[in-house]
């Protein structure tokens, strides 16, 4: 069983504006790694727009310092990863919406005004304190996603996004 972390592009302005305290992906990876129960892994797939299509060395260093984290090829299928994951970690990333569409637990660092803003009823687990990670991860493992809440949230998101002439 595994969780997935899809970091934003390196130097992405939304990450620094929406989640300034969660922009050090190496630190996040180490925090997630020590919070995962035995037997669970964290898979990390770099952003598809990653310039030059070379691995992010900062991420690689953090991943190589752990036993339960794995850096995936840029060619790894994004949707297969989501489909088979227990949950998805996101930081100011649109991958959270795609994960909700697949009825997955989404654990979001910081705030993302383009998707969730400060909506406390959004069907995500928001991390504002890394000490809460083990509890939230265990909730994701032990409880199914609330599909009704996700469907209602996605419907309201789509309904409020339609422009009528």
Higher pLDDT pick, 154 / 37? 37
Read off the pLDDT of residues 72-91 as tens digits, 9 standing for 90 and up.
887 888 889 999 999 999 87
Is the per-residue pLDDT at 51 higher than 60? no
Mean pLDDT of 105-124: 70
Burial annotation 57-90 (CB, 10 A radius, 16+ → b, else e) = eebeebbeebebbebbeeeeeeeebbeebbbbbb
Q: Give the whole-angstrom CA distance, residue 77 versus residue 48.
A: 11
Read off the pLDDT of residues 123-157 as tens digits, 9 standing for 90 and up.
888 887 889 999 999 999 999 999 999 998 888 87
Higher pLDDT pick, 59 / 17? 59
Full-model pTM? 0.83
The total of other beta-carbon atoms located within 10 Å of residue 95's CB is 23
Confidence (pLDDT) at 135: 96
């Amino acid at each position: 069983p595994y969780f997935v972390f899809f970091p934003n592009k390196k130097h992405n302005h939304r990450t620094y504006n929406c989640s300034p305290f969660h922009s050090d992906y190496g630190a996040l990876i180490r925090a997630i790694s020590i919070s995962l129960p035995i037997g669970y892994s964290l898979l990390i797939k770099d952003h598809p727009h990653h310039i030059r299509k070379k691995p992010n060395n900062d991420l690689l260093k953090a991943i190589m310092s752990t036993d339960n984290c794995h850096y995936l090829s840029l060619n790894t299928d994004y949707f297969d990863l989501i489909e088979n994951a227990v949950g998805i970690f996101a930081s100011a990333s649109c991958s959270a919406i795609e994960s909700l569409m697949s009825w997955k637990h989404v654990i979001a660092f910081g705030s993302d005004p383009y998707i969730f803003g400060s909506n406390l009823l959004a069907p995500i687990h928001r991390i504002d304190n890394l000490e809460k990670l083990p509890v939230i991860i265990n909730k994701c493992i032990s409880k199914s996603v609330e599909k009704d809440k996700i469907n209602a949230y996605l419907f309201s998101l789509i309904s409020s996004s339609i422009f009528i002439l």
